[in-house]
Structure 1
Amino acid sequence: METETVLGGSAPAEPGSSSDPRREAWGSTSDARLPTSARKSPSSAYSDRFIPSRRGVNLQDSFALLPDSQPKKRDAPQEGAKEDNLDTYTMLLRSEFLGSESNGARRADELAPTSPQRNLFRYRALPSSRADENAAYALSPVGSDSQRVLCSPRKAPRKISTVPYKVLDAPALQDDFYLNLVDWSSLNVLAVGLGTCVYLWSACTSKVTKLCDLGPEDSVTSVNWTQRGTHLAVGTSVGEVQIWDAAKCQTTRTMSGHQARVGTLCWSGHMLSSGSRDRLILQRDVRVADHFTSKLSGHKQEVCGLKWSFDGQQLASGGNDNKLYVWSPHSTSPLLRFNEHTAAVKAISWSPHQNGLLASGGGTADRCIRFWNTQTASPLNSIDTGSQVCNLCWSKNINELVSTHGYSQNQIVVWRYSSMSKVATLTGHTLRVLYLAMSPDGQTIVTGAGDETLRFWNVFPGPKTKGDASDSSSMLDFQGRTSIR
């Protein structure tokens, strides 16, 4: 039934006309003989039946329609082509029935209403536009909005390979949840702690350099590069922190203060934070002679995660006591305390896209990734991943993050924020994926596990300022499997 014909400004058939079944009842009375006050002006004509018109109403906004279900896994090129056609057909249907005001170039599962909220029921039709008046003479079977959808350029779907494009053997890479033995510098050099030694692997030349050997009485428990990528901090099992010049392969300073192993390190400018099994966090300013400038005491068990925010105003720490704390550089007491995790908190990452957005992951008894707003001190979201969360890292180029997992799935998962839908799941490690680092261009991640391998994956697009991801390909272009030693 065409409701718009009734409500488009046209009243029912005029009484007295040949098509009016009520002609005999009305007799010869016509509108011309009615008093002037009883006549209705054409601009305010109403029907005598109040049937709602939905012209101009955004049904997606009114009914809050759910997005389509996730497409099935593409196992063959023919199936992928069919699903692409289905996506186009879905967009066309949405445009025809729901309208598309600015959704032309977006995928069907990402369409969102952009028009203002309107009432669902109307008793007067909106004036038709010139485009609607000319629609009757159009040669295309679809409307102008749908033509825009079909003609707009579509982004090629991002494909993430589920196979690492490079594998490095890493003998003696420890299978210890509380250590942090892999880090990637801004100068494209990967540092790996293997037993008592630290090795540097250049992603540009594939050259391996032995930076240091701590001797039989000590071992490497953490590594972390400065932001400039010229110096590397090395934590040891005896509680020392050493600063090494990577170009000269020489130590520049050794700092003490901890009574047990240093499992995590994090730089912020000239400030180096170190977390230890002795439950303390020491703040060290490498410009002064003192080994540490302040001592942060709050955790009841080993500190295994440390991350400075990008503006250097907040330090997040996680411990084996299931606590997540946020510290200010100007105080020795925690600024915020989060107690929702039910297992050790090692995985910590600050969002580079939103100030104050912090993600944290819990161990085997928790398995959750939680999000926090540290500006309002409020929890935002939580998702159960089904396995131990070992590491978290936000993408620099897109609003996504990657997590690595241990018991019992040993997988790597790429998530889309904030829907937390899975973009890709990567497998290959046979033990817990305990170590994670990202390349300086933000496209490649490297993961390490107790299976004594380092695996390289292309998971994120390149920087937008450098064009398409295919143009700004990763700095790692070699294939095969070699050894870090």
Structure 2
Amino acid sequence: MAATELCSPRIYIHDRFIPYRPHLDVDVAHARLMSPPSETKNHSLWGNDHQLIYGDVLNEILDSPGQKRVLPIAPCQSPESQRSSMSSIDSPKICSRKSRRKVVTSPKNILDMPKIRNDFYTNVLDWGHSNKIVVALEQTTYIWDVESKVCKKVNIVTEDEASSNFVSAVCWNNEGRLVVTGDNQSHLKVFDPEMEKIIHGVNVDGKTTISVIRWRNNEIYTGDRKGRVYQYDLRCPVLAGRLVGQGLDICGMALSNNSHDMVTGGNGGVVRLWDLRAQHCFRTIKAHNGCAKALAWCPWRSSIIATGGGAQDGYIKLWQIHTGELNGKMSTKSQVCGLLWSQEYQELASSHGSVTPENNDIVLWRMSRFQFEPLAKLQQHLARPLHMTLSPDGTTIASAGVDEMMCIWECFPENRDQYRKQSSSPLALNQVIR
């Protein structure tokens, strides 16, 4: 007995640029081929004014005004969408098909951040893998549990230090259990927020401000205002710093997830790339005309870094670390305070500071082939959002501004597939042609 074949229903996927053959009338097509071209436009094919405009645009594009087509070309949009597209055909802000993703532009939570310092050379915000946010306000460190909404105050500054010291940098470890802080007197402290106990402490030679801290596995890296990069190994009985490199004032630092590379940035717009295994700088890039604080490694291509310039520059640039080649750039005309990548959506978030309140915002960029395409603006801060961090699951951004507010933004929801299922029509513009 022959096997029975199970035939699935045929799904027609039409191409918007190739005429749909079942609509072809052979007799009419033959008559048009045999008849001489007419100088007058016959608008009987178009049923209304919207389709008339669409036909005129097609004639201009195909450079054959007034000539009728042998193969039918039918509009693939509704009259309403045709009207909107025709009205914006000369506008430079035409949104592409991919930019139809809906972004929630209002914050989910707003928290009060009193006494946060208006200092571009600090990094006092971080989101740990325990889903807790640490933020430093002058001498006090706060731990906010995102799930329980409970805020805990941790004061590790002694009475002798409290008069003149302030916490200038914070960072969680990989497990989100320990926090390391640095202050303006070169004091580095590792403490347990639950026990409120200092585990390690060290004073860096020469009193200066520790601007940025990064922690990976058992190693802590710091950058300070004297341009020094230190490495600390927690496995050593005595926490001692080892000088890795030196340059201009350092206020930005980022570690690569897939290699032993590190990038630092600071005054003069100079960006340095470090090989942590050999402990040397293998490339120096004059990236910007202003201070380069915002630095971020591309999560899906480890050889690409994004850098942002200060108020005198305002550019976001993409660099190839192996060659030092500039892969792309975008002028924002404002100070770039922070950069974050979304691996799931392949988008870039940038925070900007400006003297005008309406320009202190966070911008989401779609990075198709590393080309910048603005997607949405998150506007809530009244002053520049100096600090920005990403949640462990990559769905939410926390930003802290000089306006003494911390905003929680749900920019990258996990159920991404819902944005792909907007229409079941084979002619929907959000469908893949092939």
Regarding TM over 0.5, the answer is: yes
- 1:412 and 2:362 aligned: yes
Alignment match, 1:324 = 271
Taking the aligned partners of 2:177 and 2:79, their CA distance within structure 1 comes to 48
Distance change in 2, residues 1:281/1:84 (3 Å) = farther
Deviation at 1:463, TM superposition (A): 6.8
Give how far 1:311 is off.
Answer: 2.0
Note the C-alpha offset of 1:439: 1.3
The answer to whether the Cα contact below 8 Å between 1:258 and 1:278 also exists between their aligned partners in 2 is no
In the other structure, the counterpart of 1:263 is 211
In the other structure, the counterpart of 2:122 is: 179
Match 2:348 to one of 401, 419, 437: 401
Within-5 A mapping of 1:289-308? 289-292=237-240, 294-300=242-248, 302-308=249-255
Q: Is the Cα–Cα contact under 8 Å of residues 226 and 247 in structure 2 kept in the other structure? A: no
Task: Work out whether 1:311 is the aligned partner of 2:254.
Answer: no
| Distance change (3 Å), C-alpha of 1:345 and 1:290 | farther
Structure 1 residues 83 and 171: alpha-carbon distance in aligned structure 2, compared to 1, 3 A threshold: farther
How has the CA–CA distance of structure 1 residues 178 and 469 changed in structure 2, closer, same or farther, with 3 Å as cutoff?
farther
Q: 1:374 aligned to 321, 324, 328, which one?
A: 321
Structure 2 vs 1, CA of residues 463 and 292 (structure 1 numbering), >3 Å: closer, same or farther? farther
Aligned residue for 1:321, secondary structure, equals: helix
1:48-197 to 2 correspondences below 5 Å: 85-86=81-82, 109=96, 157-197=100-140
Q: Cα 1:88–1:257, aligned 2, differ >3 Å: closer, same or farther?
A: same
Shift of 1:429: 1.1
Amino acid at match of 1:462: E
Identical positions, percent: 26
Deviation string 1:205-261 (CA, Å, 9 cap, x unpaired) is 000111224133321101011111111110111101111112322110002224211
Contact 2:270 2:285 in 1 (8 A): yes
8 A Cα contact 1:163 1:426, kept in partner: yes
Q: Which residue of 1 aligns with 2:69?
A: none
C-alpha change, 1:230 and 1:86, in structure 2 (3 Å) is: farther
Instruction: Work out which of the residue numbers 225, 232, 236 in structure 2 matches 1:277.
Output: 225
Q: Which residue of 1 aligns with 2:27?
A: none
Amino acid at match of 2:222: S
Match of 2:373 among 421, 439, 448: 421
Distance 1:258 1:386, change over 3 A: farther
State how far apart, in whole Å, the 2-side matches of 1:321 and 1:280 are.
15
Name the counterpart of 1:435. 387
C-alpha separation in 2, matches of 1:278 and 1:89: 55
Correspondence for 2:50:
none
CA contact (8 A) 1:271 1:284 kept: yes
User: Is the CA contact 1:397–1:463 (under 8 Å) kept in the aligned structure 2?
Assistant: no
Q: Does the CA contact (< 8 Å) of 2:328 and 2:371 recur in 1? A: no
Match for 1:212: what amino acid? N
Query: Counterpart of 2:431?
Result: none
| Deviation readout 1:337-385 (Å, 9 max, x if unpaired) | 1013111110000111112110010101110011111133322111111
The C-alpha deviation readout for 1:248-291, integer Å capped at 9, x for no partner, is 22110002224211110011221110001121010111111353
Task: Report the equivalent of 1:383.
Answer: 330
Q: Is the 8 A contact 1:462 1:469 kept in 2?
A: no
String of CA shifts for 1:307-347, please: whole Å, max 9, x gaps.
Answer: 10002410100011321000001234311110131111100
Task: Check 1:109–1:291 CA distance in 2 against 1; reply closer, same or farther (3 A cut).
Answer: same
AA paired with 1:287?
R
**Contact preservation (8 Å) 1:235, 1:262:** yes
Question: Does the 8 Å contact 1:442/1:463 carry over to 2?
Answer: no
CA 1:292–1:376: 2 relative to 1, 3 Å: farther
Where does residue 456 of structure 1 map in the other structure?
408
Please give the alpha-carbon distance, in whole angstroms, between the structure 1 residues aligned to 2:84 and 2:289: 45
Work out whether residues 298 and 334 of structure 1, in 8 Å CA contact, stay in contact via their aligned partners in 2.
no
Q: In the TM superposition, what is the alpha-carbon distance from 1:83 to its structure 2 partner?
A: 9.4
Counterpart CA distance in 2 for 1:290 and 1:325 is 29
Q: Post-superposition shift, 1:446?
A: 1.1
- The one-letter amino acid of 1:361's match is G
Aligned residues: 329
Partner of 2:24: none
Question: In the alignment, does 2:315 pair up with 1:357?
Answer: no
Counterpart amino acid of residue 366 in structure 2: R
Q: Does residue 334 in structure 1 map to residue 286 in structure 2?
A: no
Amino acid aligned to 1:358? I
Q: Distance in 1 between matches of 2:222 and 2:305?
A: 20
Q: TM-score scaled by structure 1?
A: 0.63
Partner of residue 234 from structure 2, selected from 280, 286, 289: 286
Listed as ranges, the gaps of 5+ residues in structure 1 are 1-18, 20-62, 64-80, 91-107, 112-155, 471-485
Aligned residue identity for 1:257: V
Task: State the TM-score, normalized to the length of structure 2.
Answer: 0.71
Q: CA RMSD in A?
A: 2.8
Determine which structure has the larger strand proportion and give its number.
2
- Return the alpha-carbon distance in structure 1 between the equivalents of residues 352 and 189 of structure 2: 29
Counterpart contact for 1:299–1:321, Cα < 8 Å: no
Q: Which runs of 5+ in 2 are unaligned?
A: 1-33, 35-60, 62-76, 87-94, 421-434
Check whether the contact 1:186–1:229 (CA below 8 A) recurs between aligned residues: yes
Instruction: Assess if the C-alpha contact under 8 Å between 2:123 and 2:169 holds in 1.
Output: yes
